[in-house]
A and B are shown apart, each in its own frame.
Chain A
Amino acid sequence: MKARVYVTLKNGVLDPQGRAIHHALEGLGFSGVEDVRAGKLIELSLADGTSDADIEAMCRKLLANTVIENFRIERIAA
């Protein structure tokens, strides 16, 4: 069983890396990009029976810093 954890900066938290990527895309001639936000994808391989609550605890304790980041958990069927 696998789960993907998406970690993203909260709305309103300035994302200097996203802004730099945005500028670089514009520099390459891609117009029409209105905003870029950079985040992380963490893929977990889990023992069967790992509960949603367990994964959420992992996110709160380590994978995301909830002062500045949100997380979203996506389970993937094997």
Chain B
Amino acid sequence: MKSAVIVFPGSNCDRDLAVAIRDVTGEAPAMVWHRETELPEGVGLIGVPGGFSYGDYLRAGAMAARSPVMRAVADAAARGVAVLGVCNGFQVLTEAGLLPGALMRNAGLNFVCRDVTLTVGTSQSAFTSRYEVGEEIRIPVAHHDGNYTADAETLDRLEGEGRVAFRYGEQVNGSARDIAGILNDAGNVLGMMPHPERMMEPAHGRTDGRRLFEGLVAAIA
């Protein structure tokens, strides 16, 4: 399966995400610089990685969301291509309008960097098909701006339509309704603050993130 990982100035999880995708798909993703205006032909998965794109200037993800490559990502998402945004990638996708809501400074003001418990909210997506609803998994977080915020109507809609993919099983950052990851209305775009690409191999301690990528490959390939 062909895939791409977007690279912004200040991305720092692009390599981790590329390694995770390569391990599961057997094919190294194309690394696509933010100034590109097109994605490689036939890409089935686009990864928007973690990091501090543009030094978090203005707002986390704000500058990256307006970079040339994001127009191509938005076009691909509209055609149904799977898009996975992790951490800063989630912030970029909300700033780009591909996902609703916004990610604000953590309620405790601290940078939170540790493994956390997540509860799976739906198995009805390509990203979560290999998990059971209500299953608890452990995935690391590392962020300063992960406090998910949206108006009550949006939150109700996300919950009502089964678009909350993951919730925190513990207090992490003050996110509305403990939201850790959400899907777009078509289900082909997932944004999440925790880093599944950091829980892939036994050497990482656990492999809870691996099934996310395996589910994607099964759904797309």
Interface string of A15-45 (1 = CB under 8 A from B): 0110010000000000000000000000000
Are B104 and A68 in contact, with the CB atoms below 8 A? yes
Which residues on the B side are within 8 Å of A14 (C-beta)? Answer: 104, 107, 174
- 1/0 per residue, CB under 8 A from A, across B91-114: the answer is 000110000111011111100000
Check B157 for interface membership: any CB of A closer than 8 A. no
Q: Is the CB of B58 within 8 A of A63?
A: yes
The CB with the most chain B CB atoms within 10 A, among A14, A17, A65, A68, is that of A65
B149 interfacial by beta-carbon distance below 8 Å: yes
Which DSSP category, helix, strand, loop or mixed, fits chain A's interface? helix
Contacts A65-B95, A65-B102, A68-B149 hold; do A16 and B62 have CB atoms under 8 A apart? no
Q: How many residues of B contact A (CB 8 A)?
A: 20
Complex: A67 Cα to B95 Cα, angstroms: 10
**Contact partners of A20 in chain B: CB under 8 A:** 109
A window 1-21: CB within 8 A of B: 13-14, 16-17, 20
Whether A13 contacts B104 by the Cβ 8 Å rule is yes
Task: Digitize B105-136: 1 where CB-to-A-CB distance is under 8 Å, 0 elsewhere.
Answer: 11111000000000000000000000000000
Docked CA distance A32–B66 (Å) = 42
Chain A hits for B59, CB < 8 A: 65
In order of increasing CB-CB distance, the 6 nearest A-B pairs are A67-B102, A68-B102, A16-B109, A16-B105, A16-B107, A65-B102
Least Cβ–Cβ distance between A20 and chain B, in angstroms:
6
Q: Is A67 a contact partner of B174 (Cβ separation < 8 A)? A: no
Interface size on A, residues (CB 8 A): 11
Residues of A within 8 A of B94 (CB): 67
Q: Does B218 contact A (CB under 8 A)?
A: no
A47 CB-CB contact with B under 8 Å: no
A46 to chain B, nearest CB (A): 18
Interface presence of B150 (CB below 8 A)? yes
Residue of B nearest to A17 (CB): B105
- Kindly state the separation between the CA atoms of A11 and B151 in the bound complex, as whole angstroms: 12
Whether A13 touches B58, Cβ cut-off 8 Å, given contacts A62-B66, A68-B102, is no
- Using known A-B contacts A67-B101, A67-B149, A68-B102, determine if residue A16 contacts B66 with beta carbons closer than 8 Å: no
Interface residue from A17, A62, A67 paired with B150 (Cβ < 8 Å): A67
With A16-B147, A67-B150, A68-B149 known, 7 other A-B pairs at CB within 8 A are A16-B105, A16-B106, A16-B174, A17-B109, A65-B62, A65-B95, A67-B100
